[in-house]
Chains A and B, each alone.
Chain A
């Protein structure tokens, strides 16, 4: 009977109850939409970083990532690469020679990371080839071709086929330099990355450094992110003399960024939930106060205060039981549609590019977030009814005879 009365009480003031249900639906939707937006953004960034350069798993000399010295190449790197490329669970793998250096045009110079890549296998592992917006991706007949980013080209005031000089330090600590000709200009969504990276052929860089046949990095692309840990374990066992790291270990700033983004989102969700909490208190309090006499009557004829309390909490619970599933359905629809169409954030593209993010965000959702946010909203709906319920049980039975 309590349930029946609570249910019928909800529909006494249809408009007010619908507004409250709408608040629950929109609160849930708002929270989940933010989560899905954040997840989509971070997933894209991770995907972009993986496809752009990091790939899923990387191999280095055990000391290379700490010291970044050119002499710390992978022992028998090309052989290791060849063995890895033969493994059936590896989608693609490539080797890279790396060196820090200066890129100089006649007018200006900037510090860069020189990536000596193997063009054919690199194209299978990363999307570098597809990021070339002008010129060609390492034309076969070119001599010492280099890919520079659009941003770097602007900074150095160079263009396609401009001659530029790369300077670096070889294993003996001597300065070495080589002239390169701009064969292509690339552009990714990550402005900072673009400013700091150039690509040459691995053989050219090795020649410049005097390290023919030596590679510092093997980048491996897998079929999915889920295979990362098993493959890491397998390779670590197969090649104990090299360091095998996942994309998260190679780029800890990615997961740090995801964590901090996560925190911002949860703060936003918290604000939405707090707003919802006070909305529920306000509405339930109005509903309770206008039933002062009736509540007095219920207690006069024998309803216990605990039952009155339960009835008010039940009303709020029922409202959230209607609102929460509707909110989830609305979110699923939104994520389903926007996840395919994408949200155009081009108005903020400059800022997003600085953070290495795309200007189109494709929201996505993991089922656990539905559960977390739905429970939060549900709990808040119940908590929001506690003060009004206490107010109701404080009514005096004699209100009925005044």
Chain B
């Protein structure tokens, strides 16, 4: 294992020189105003290259989810910039940002968040439908993705008829369907048992290796951390370590 660990109080998490950047944050700040303002993201400089399998870790309240939300265009920073797939998200209007998310970022959430009234296959097709892809293409790709995540025979099941692990696999397939630049996963294994976690990680690693899909996780889960090839640790909104394996 190639260990390249820095443990300064605030470091820049850089990608290897010359690699194609998928995500870049520049002096990113986010403060939640309240009785006592919380500096959730405090001057983060981060680079993630295409094909990386990165876990962002840290204790609760360290700013993982906020950082992921900003990278994913779900939230706005107070200062600094986020460049995703070569585009700065800082000044994109809401409707353009929505389109940007649709075409560039795949999301996997902790609670799966599938559309309960649609079948697994329809859930996967949903994002492609928003992209206005033709029916034949949607059907072919959703079938292919169902097989890729190992639930080929469950396309007609509704989320309530699937186990947690199966639902999260549908969520991964849904995230992959619009052919995004990378996938953001917020605590994807938090609600899964060991077996489901291992299966899901196998699937995601396989997709990472074979298709070069970039994965960025926020996680507490040691099982995910153990299999990540890069681990960025946050504390109090700052990157305190960037470990490559």
Contacts and interface: CB of A to CB of B under 8 A. Distances in A.
A and B held together in a complex: yes
Interface of A: 1, 4-5, 8-9, 11-12, 293-294, 297-305, 307, 396-398, 400-402
Contacts of A300: 72, 74, 101, 107
A133 B126 CA distance: 78
B118 A304 contact: no
How many B residues touch the partner, as a band?
20 to 34
A285 B125 CA distance: 28
B81 interface: no
A284 to B, nearest CB: 16
Given A294-B115, A401-B68, A301 B102 contact: yes
Contact of B115 (A5, A307, A400): A5
B54 interface: no
A72 B102 CA distance: 88
A297 B109 contact: yes
B113 interface: yes
A303 B99 CA distance: 8
Given A297-B113, A300-B101, A305 B126 contact: no
Nearest to B65: A401
Interface string B150-187: 00000000000000000000000011001000000010
Contacts of A401: 65, 68-69, 74, 109-110, 186
B117 interface: yes
B129 interface: yes
B118 A8 contact: yes
A302 B68 contact: no
Q: Is the interface of A mostly helix, strand, loop or mixed?
A: helix
B98 interface: yes
A302 B115 contact: no
A400 B74 contact: yes
Pairs of residues from A and B, 9 with the lowest C-beta to C-beta distance, nearest first: A302-B102, A8-B117, A397-B74, A297-B113, A1-B129, A302-B130, A398-B74, A398-B75, A401-B186
B130 A303 contact: yes
19 contacts: A5-B117, A5-B118, A293-B113, A297-B109, A300-B72, A300-B74, A301-B126, A301-B174, A301-B175, A302-B101, A302-B127, A302-B130, A304-B95, A305-B94, A397-B75, A398-B75, A401-B65, A401-B109, A401-B186
B101 A400 contact: no
Interface in B88-129: 94-95, 98-99, 101-103, 107, 109-111, 113, 115-118, 122, 125-127, 129
B34 to A, nearest CB: 15
B114 to A, nearest CB: 9
Contacts, number: 75
A11 B118 CA distance: 12
A396 B97 CA distance: 13
A303 B130 CA distance: 7
A302 B99 contact: yes
B221 to A, nearest CB: 16
A12 B116 contact: yes
A402 B61 CA distance: 12
A398 B101 contact: no
B30 to A, nearest CB: 11
Nearest to B177: A301
Contact of B126 (A1, A9, A397): A1
A302 B96 CA distance: 10
Contacts of A302: 98-99, 101-103, 127, 130-131, 178
Given A302-B130, A398-B69, 12 more contacts: A1-B129, A294-B116, A297-B109, A300-B101, A301-B126, A301-B175, A302-B98, A397-B69, A398-B74, A400-B107, A401-B68, A401-B186
Contacts of B65: 401-402
A314 to B, nearest CB: 13
Contact of A298 (B110, B115, B178): B115
Given A300-B72, A398-B69, A401-B65, A294 B113 contact: yes
A5 B122 CA distance: 10
Contacts of A299: 98
Contacts of B127: 301-302
Q: Please indicate which of the listed interface residues B65, B99, B130, B186 has the most CB atoms of chain A within 10 Å of its own CB.
A: B130
B66 to A, nearest CB: 9
Contacts of B116: 12, 294
A298 B107 CA distance: 11
